[in-house]
Amino acid sequence: MNSGPNSQRRTILVIDDEHGVLEMVKAALESEGYAVHAASNADEGIKLYEEHWRNIELVLLDFLMPGMTGDHVLECLQSLDPDVRVVLLTANKYSFQRHLHASSILGCLEKPFELAELSERVREALTPA
């Protein structure tokens, strides 16, 4: 993944309960120059978003986590900022289909995904319409 001018000083929140995925995504995004907040569960992710939502430009959200479901996390994020921008991460592409119409959802990445695909999806999500 290459560092690019669009990545400088942009902040992303990653919420994923799979430690390996969380660390890989965090490292990949940081190598591109993004500032990354990482949360290993829904409660931690919501807390980080509450603290930093004004600076977070994109949330990468694992949709299937133990405890709180991805759609509940999405509702919490939207209650803090109706304009939150989210890319869903999931191992089951059918689990989120009904949520793709939500204005906050900018797309999804199906696990496992390649780092190049992650980079492309993040750039797309951060590009103004």
Residue 95 lies in a domain: yes
Does residue 39 sit within a domain?
yes
For residue 12, being part of any structural domain is answered with yes
- Mean pLDDT over 28-38 rounds to 97
In a domain, 1, yes or no: no
Backbone conformation region of residue 67, classed left if phi is above 0, alpha if psi is from -120 to 50, else beta: left
Q: Quickly state the pLDDT bin for 129 (edges 50, 70, 90).
A: low
Give the closest residue to 105 by CA, choosing from 66, 69, 74, 65.
74
Structural domain harbouring 87 = 7-126
Q: Is residue 2 part of a domain?
A: no
Q: What is the pLDDT of residues 79-103, one digit of tens each?
A: 999 999 999 888 766 655 555 555 6
Number of domains in the chain: 1
The CATH number assigned to the domain holding 60 equals 3.40.50.2300
Query: Is the pTM above the cut of 0.85?
Result: yes
